[in-house]
Structure 1
Amino acid sequence: MKRIVPAIALMLLAACSQAPQEDSPEPQALVKLAVVGRQAVGETIRLYGVADSGPGGRADLFAPIEARFIAIDAPVGSAVQQGQAIVRLAPGPTAMLDMAKARSDAQAADAAYARAVRMRGDGLMSDADVETARAAKASADATLTSLTGRSLTLRAPRAGYVESITGTPGDLIPAGTSVVTIGGTGAIRAHFGVDPAFVRNLRTGAAIAIMTAGNGRAIPARLSAVDPMVDPQTKLAAAYADLPAGTTLRPGETLTGDATIKGTQDALAIPYAALLDDAGQPFVFVVVKGTAHRRDIVAGSSDGAVVVVTKGLAPGDQVVVEGGTALDDGMKVRLR
C-alpha cells in the first residue's frame, strides 16, 4: 500500500534541511594614522648655477687695449698650464687709430730732439731746451710702446682651469674688460643664482642636493654663504655651497641644486605620505569613528616630508598615512 506524503509536509522538510545563512563580515582595512597639526614647513626650490673656484682661487685676464676677439685656443673647462695661450685678440679700430697717432707723435718727437741736439751744437739752443725735447721724445716713445708692445694673446698666469670667457670671435672688446677667468686647482664651490623673492628665506647652513648635468647622483652639501645683492645683469641674488673634498668638478661646469627654504610661519600640515591624487585632485582619507572618509584638499608648499594644506582639513583631524591606497570612501578601518 503506497503512502502519500502531503505537499505541505514536503515543503516543511525541505526548509528544515537547509543550513541557516550568516551575514558576511563588512570589509576592513589595516591603516596607520597621523594627527593634523600646525608647524613650520619648509619648501624645496631648484637653483641653477656653475662650479667655480671662489674669489681667492681665480685670476682674471683683461684686454690691454680696445681689441677684436680673434680666436679661443682653450675653451671653458679646459685644464691649462702656466703660460698656455687661451684667447687671441687683435687691435680694434680705435686702438689702431691711437697707435697710428702714437707712431706719428713719436716720430715728430724724435725729429724734434735730433734738431735740438744739432742746434745745441751750433750754440742756438740751451741745455734746458735739449732736455725738454729729450723728455718729450721719451714720453712719446713710452706711449707708443704701451700701445704696440703689449701681447694680445692672453695666457694663463698659473696652472688651473678656464672658468669663463667673455665674448666670442668677432666681438669688439673695450680696453680693461675681463675676457678670461682662470680657476685654481684648489677647493671648488658651487655658485647659484637665486630669485630675489626666495633669497630672504635661504639661510647659511641649509641643506642642498647638488647635481651635475647628465648625472642623476646628488652631491649632499650645505650653503656656505647667501648674498642678497641682486646682480644688475642677471637680476638674481647669489648663494654658494662648498663642495665635499674629492668632488671631481671643474670650474664652469653646469650645476643644479635642490635647496630647502624654511617657512616663516606655522602652517596646517600633514605628512607627505598621507597625500593621494585623483586625476590631479589631491585628497586624503580622514578616519572618524573607525570609518575612512575621502576629503579633497588644497595642497601648498612641501619640503618632501610634510605638505601644507590650505583648505579641506582642520587641526586634530586624523589622516591615513599607511594603507590609504587600499581604501574606499566609507570603508571601515583597523589601526596598525
Structure 2
Amino acid sequence: MYIGRQIVVLMALAALAGGGYTLYQDHVNRAADTGGGRSPSRPRTTTVETALAETRTLVERVEAVGTTRALQSVDIVPLAEGRLVELNIEPGAEVGEGAVLARLDSEIEESTLEEAEALLTERDSRLARSNTLMRSNASTVSTATLEQVRSERAVAAAAVNRARRRFEDRTVRAPFSGVLGIRRVDLGARVDTSTVLATLDDLSKVEIEFSLPETVYGQIHEGQRVAATSAAFADRTFTGTVVAVDSRVDSASRAFRVRARVPNADRALPVGMFMRLDLELADRQGIVVPEEALAVEGGEPFVFVVVDGKADRRPVETGLRRNGLIEIVDGIAAGDEVVTRGIQSVRDGAGVTVLKTVGPQTSPQSKAPALPATEQAATETPQAAGPLTDTGGATTAPTRGRSRS
C-alpha cells in the first residue's frame, strides 16, 4: 500500500511538471510573436549585411602536374676509345657549341694523319709531272698512265680524310650550347664509345610534359598560355605556351600528353623538376556573389534577395567557385542585393534592416589572385572588377553552401 501511494505521488508531480513546461513554452512563443513584449503592430525585422551581385569575367581553367625537360639534352660520350689526357668538364658551367670538353691520347692517329698527308703530297707531285709531260706531247706518258696516277692521288686523298677524321674523333666537343652536368669520369681514365662523360642540357628554355583528361582534348591547342609553379620557387610563376599536343589518347588512362615551353633565361629551372600547371581554357561574363550568400536546404541552393525592405528567397543554379566568390548561373540578376551576414535568422518575406552593403570585390575573402600584366590586359572588361577562375578542372564545380536548420 505504501508503494502504491508513492507511485501516485510521482505521477502527480510529473503531471504538474509537464503542465508547467507547456505553460512556459506558450508564454515564450507569445513573447516572440509580439516582439518580446513590444506592440504586435510592429513587424519583426532582422539586421543583415548585404552585397551586390556583379558581372565579372569568368575564366575556366584546368590544373595539371608535369616534369621539366631540357629543350635539348644529350649524354656526352667519346667517338673513340682511349685514355683521357684533357678534361674540361665543370659541373654547372655553360659552354658554347663546339667547345672542347675532353681529349683522348692521339699520338698514333696524329702520326697516321702525317703519313697520309705525306703520301698525298707525293701523289700530287707525281700527278703534276704527268700532266706537264702530257701537255708537251711526250711519248713517255700515256693516257692510261695519267689515269692511274689520278686514281692513286684520289686514294691518297681519301686516306688523308679518313686519318683526319680519326684524329678529330679523339677530341670531344659540345654539340650545342648548354649547361654541363656532373662529370662521371676522371682525367686519365680509359673510356670507350659507351662511356658517359657528363650530360649537356640546353636550359635557355625548358619544356614541361604533362597529361590532361580526354574531356578537354578539343580545348587544348598550340600557343595556349600556361602558368607553372614549383615548390622550390613558392613566390614565382613561370609563364609559357603550349607547343605540342599528342595526337593520341591513352586507352588505359583516358588522358593525352601535352608539352609546354617556358623561358628560363636565368637557368632557374633544372631538368626533372616537378611542376604544377594552370591552363586557361576559356572566359565568359557571369554573375557572381560572395560564397556566404549561398545557403542550401534539402539539397537545393538558394539566396535571399532584399526587395523593398523584405527578404525574397530565390532558388539558384550555381557555377564556378573561386576565392570566396561563386557564380550564379540562374536565379538573380546583376545589381541584385543579396544577404551575406545574418542569413540564419532571415525568413522568406520577413523584413530586414541592412546594416552595410558591399560589392564582391571589396570582400576580404574574395580577392582574386594577381595576374601578370599581359594576362590582366587580356581579361579585363569595362564591367568586370576582376577575373574569377576555376582551377578545379574543366567542368563546373559542384554546388556547396551552408545548410539551414
* TM-score bracket for this pair, using the shorter chain length: 0.3 to 0.5
Higher helix fraction (1 or 2): 2
For normalisation by structure 2, the TM-score amounts to 0.41
